[in-house]
Structure 1
Amino acid sequence: MLDPLVLLALMAVGMLAGFVDAIAGGGGMITVPALLSAGLPPVAALGTNKMQSIVGTGMAALTYWRRGYVNLPSLVPAIALTFAGSFLGALTVSKLDTSLLTIAVPVALIGIALYFLFAPKLSDADSTARLRFGPFVPVMGFLIGFYDGIFGPGTGSFFTIGFVLLFGLGLTRATGSTKALNFTSNLAALAIFIPQGAVVWPVAIVMALGQVIGGYVGARTGIRYGAKVIRPLVVVVSIALAIKLLVFP
């Protein structure tokens, strides 16, 4: 049984992670080290992290949707294929060599950070799409969902850059759609973690309470300030994730 003060601290960690995740993704960079520091074994830390983070991601997605920044009917095929990709990735992770990802992913994240830092036209206004939304967003969902199932870090950044660069969504709409697909990929992982008993429920519940608050406030902040806050936070989170993966893999 964890000390009540430790649980309270983890609730605060969940709140902070939910806020950051609702705007730019990368909340796991905050929560997983905190769970490991609290004494949870690695598999339990990962399962508990997925359980608590899905609550914050769901709250953020709901908030963006209620404010009109997520078109759920257009995302239904992508939601289905994101779930399938993430589930398949989680099932096959033990059979794949993911060592190359420890270098490739940080490089990709640094590239995303540079793009968001220097691209002159990033705003909340939609732009010209390079690919058709209907047939290709589900493909993106499957591929990034599969990546999330086998590795995970940077999933939100990859979804956001895809929606902006390939499908022309404004930054706030891209973030809202990212939350919907990120929620789905987390749900697929939980379909494997929960039956394995890899979720420490008291910890997951208190952190989920923090995630509800952080996810809601973060989503409202992203909606209110749009690209002004989303753009720099994506840059910071992407670089921080890249450094973490390179220095503390």
Structure 2
Amino acid sequence: MLFILFVIGFFGNVIGTLAGGGGLITLPTMLLLGMPVHAAIGANKVANTVSTLSNFYSVFKRKEITREEVFPIIVLCFIGGLLGGGLAALFTEQTLTIIAICLLLFAFVLSFFGKTDFGEQLQLHVKKRTASLLIGVGIYDGLFGPGSGTLLLYIYASEKLAYMKAVVLGRVGIFATCFGAALMYIVNGQILWAETLALMIGSIMGAQLGIILARKISAKLAKYLLRLITAILIVQLILELL
């Protein structure tokens, strides 16, 4: 079981870094292995916190991001993740699945109107609208998770950020939301540590490979990859709901 968790952590984070949606691999597999739903979500949060922190460190060393631009993202997403993690016990899995489907469908449709195409901007200016969306995704990520990385990429694409910049800031956002949520799951005693550590090791390795691959992908290919992952996520969530 631990080796399977390592493998899904690796592949889930390669995909999650490139287009979000890593949860479509990790979460269903953990549930199939018999992990309780809140323990599975908590393991995802802890593993993603550490793997995205490793991404954060590597891109910061390369000076691809600055403290000034990531600070508001970390604060907003952390607050959202903390709130979501605290509210998680109040919602059923069915309700969270419906919310996820609605959010992803909305983002998917917008992508065909050119509203969420990646641009050439290398600096994110956090406006009120962007701040609200970041908190909202943070709450959703703390509550449930699958698709939150994808939703962050759509937010950054709507601001016409370059793909690589969007990936980097997406990982920063996921770090903050998962950190806030992970604290709540740890405090509530919902973490199975052996399983979580196996997932975490695979996640760190997958996240590093994902960043390397992201530097080689064009904005056009990234757009199609993002749509593909979104469509798969929507189908998977609908099947789970039914």
TM over 0.5: yes
Alpha-carbon distance in 2 for matches of 1:44, 1:99: 17
Alpha-carbon distance in 1 for matches of 2:47, 2:96: 25
Provide closer, same or farther for how the CA distance between residues 161 and 125 of structure 1 changes in structure 2, counting only shifts above 3 A: same
Provide closer, same or farther for how the CA distance between residues 118 and 69 of structure 1 changes in structure 2, counting only shifts above 3 A: farther
- Aligned equivalent of 1:152: 145
Confirm or deny: 8 A CA contact 2:116 2:160 kept in the other structure: no
Helix, strand or coil at the partner of 1:56? helix
- Aligned equivalent of 1:211: 203
Instruction: Determine if the alignment matches structure 1 residue 243 to structure 2 residue 235.
Output: yes
The one-letter code sitting in structure 1 at the alignment partner of 2:19 is: A
Q: Which of 194, 199, 203 is residue 202 of structure 1 equivalent to?
A: 194
- Aligned equivalent of 1:224: 216
Provide closer, same or farther for how the CA distance between residues 15 and 100 of structure 1 changes in structure 2, counting only shifts above 3 A: closer
Give the superposed CA RMSD.
Answer: 2.8
The one-letter code sitting in structure 1 at the alignment partner of 2:47 is: Q
Bigger mean CA offset, 63-72 vs 30-39: 63-72
Alpha-carbon distance in 2 for matches of 1:98, 1:85: 19
Provide closer, same or farther for how the CA distance between residues 177 and 40 of structure 1 changes in structure 2, counting only shifts above 3 A: same
Listed as ranges, the matches of 1:78-97 within 5 Å are 78-95=73-90
Confirm or deny: 8 A CA contact 1:78 1:139 kept in the other structure: no
Provide closer, same or farther for how the CA distance between residues 181 and 38 of structure 1 changes in structure 2, counting only shifts above 3 A: same
- Aligned equivalent of 2:131: 138
TM-score, normalised to structure 1, is: 0.83
Provide closer, same or farther for how the CA distance between residues 134 and 116 of structure 1 changes in structure 2, counting only shifts above 3 A: closer
Helix, strand or coil at the partner of 1:14? helix
User: Considering only CA atoms, is the larger Rg found in Structure 1 or Structure 2?
Assistant: 1
The one-letter code sitting in structure 1 at the alignment partner of 2:51 is: G
Helix, strand or coil at the partner of 2:215? helix
1:17-61 per-position Cα deviation (integer Å, ceiling 9, x unaligned): 111111111111111122122222222112112222222222233
Q: Which of 51, 56, 65 is residue 56 of structure 1 equivalent to?
A: 51
Q: Deviation of residue 120 (structure 1)?
A: 9.6
Q: Which of 7, 19, 38 is residue 2 of structure 2 equivalent to?
A: 7
Confirm or deny: 8 A CA contact 1:112 1:235 kept in the other structure: no
The one-letter code sitting in structure 2 at the alignment partner of 1:75 is: V
The one-letter code sitting in structure 1 at the alignment partner of 2:136 is: L
Runs (5+) with no aligned partner, structure 1: 1-5
Alpha-carbon distance in 1 for matches of 2:51, 2:233: 19
The one-letter code sitting in structure 2 at the alignment partner of 1:175 is: V
Listed as ranges, the matches of 1:145-184 within 5 Å are 145-165=138-158, 167-184=159-176
